Amino acid sequence: MSLINEMLRDLDRRQALAVPGGPLPPGHVSAVAPPPQGRQWFWTLVACLMVLALAWVGWVAYQIHARPMLATEVAFKAAEERKARPPEPQPIAKPSVAPPQPAPEAAKESEPPELFKLAPLIETPIAESVKPKAPAPAPTALPPQQKARIASNTSASAVTRRDIPRTPAEQAESQFRQGVAFLNQGRVSDAQEQFAGAITRYAGHQAARQALVAIYIERGRLEEAKLLLEEGLSITPGNVQFATVLARILVERRDYASAENVLASARGGGDTDADYQLVLGAVLQHQGKHPQATAAFEKAASLKAQPATTWLAMAISFEASGRKAEALEAYRKSLAANTLSQEARGYAEARIRGLR
C-alpha cells in the first residue's frame, strides 16, 4: 500500500507541474516574451530629431560665419582704383537766389582715408567751437532796417546750407562704400544690393559695377555679369578691365571670335595690361593664330611674372609656329615652376623629348 500511495503522490505532483502557470520542473527552459516595440521606435525618433537639430545649428553657424571671398578682393581693388582716379565731373548746379556766401578754405570732394571701416564716413562739416565774446549791444542800439537785413541774411544762409541736394554720383558713391563695408563683414547679399543700387543711381560708377560683376561671376550668374559688362563698355568704351573679363566669359562659352572683337575695342589700353595680353593670347591660340598668340604671351610675361600654365601655352604656340628652340625653352620653364597638373607635366616632358 505504501508503494501505491507513493506512486499516487508522485502522479499528483507531475500533474500539478503540468498545469499552465504552475512552477516548471527542474531542467526546463521557458521562452521569454520580447520587449514591447513602442519605446524602441520612440527613442529612435528622438535620436533622429536630435541629429537633424545639430545639423541645422551647424549650417546656420556656417552661414553666419564671415568667409573671405573672391568678390571681396575684387571690390577692395575697385575701391583702391576709385581712390586713384580723379573725381568725375559733376553737373553744374543753378545759382541760388540767396546772397553769395564766403567760400570755404578748401572746397573738395574728398575720399575718406579708409574706405573699409564698418560704416561710411559722414562728410557733414562739423561746426567749429566759438570763443565767448563780449556781450552784444542791446537790440535797441541797431536801426530797424539793419536788424531786418541781418535777419534776412541769416535765414537765407541757413536755408542754403540745408537744401543743397546730393548728385546721383555722390549717392552712388555712398552706396558703394556701404557695399564695401558689408563685404568686410561677410554680408555678400547686402553688398550686392548696395552695388546694384549704386549702378541704378549712377550707371557710370565703374567700381560698383566691377564689384557687382565679381559677385555675379562667383555665384555662377554669368549671363547677368555679361550684360553688366556690355553696358559698362557702352558707357566707357575701351575699359580694359571690363573687356578682359567679358572676353573670359566668352571664352568660357567658346565664342572666340566675339572675345577677340571685345578685346580689340580696348587694345589701346591693353598694351600695358598683363591680364589683357594673357587672355588675348589664349583667344588667338584657340583660333589657330599662333604667331600673334606667342607675341601676346611674351608681352604678358614681360609685364608680370606668369604661372606655369602660361609658359606651357606659349610653348605650344611656339611649336606650332615652327620655333622649336623657343618652344623647348618655354616647356622647360613650365616644368621649372613645378605647379602643373600631372597630365600637363607629362605632356610637357613628352614634347621636350620630341624636340631634342
Q: Please say if the pLDDT value at position 138 is more than 90.
A: no
Residue 281 · residue 313 · CB < 8 Å: yes
User: Could you tell me the domains of the chain?
Assistant: 68-82+167-236 (1.25.40)
Q: What is the per-residue pLDDT for 351?
A: 93
Q: Please say if the pLDDT value at position 93 is more than 70.
A: no
Which of the four pLDDT bands, split at 50, 70 and 90, describes residue 43?
A: confident
Q: What is the per-residue pLDDT for 39?
A: 67
Cα distances (angstroms) measured from residue 153 to each of 97, 144, 150, 157? 11, 15, 5, 6
Q: What is the per-residue pLDDT for 11?
A: 64
What is the end-to-end Cα distance of the chain in Å, rounded? 123
Which of the four pLDDT bands, split at 50, 70 and 90, describes residue 114?
A: very low
Which of the four pLDDT bands, split at 50, 70 and 90, describes residue 110?
A: very low
Confidence (pTM): 0.57
pLDDT tens across 220-249, in order?
Answer: 999 999 999 999 999 999 999 999 999 999
d(CA 229, CA 266) in angstroms, rounded, equals 13
- Highest mean pLDDT (candidates 22-31, 38-47, 62-71): 38-47
Q: Residues 251-263: what's their mean pLDDT?
A: 94
Which of the four pLDDT bands, split at 50, 70 and 90, describes residue 125?
A: very low
Q: What is the per-residue pLDDT for 313?
A: 94
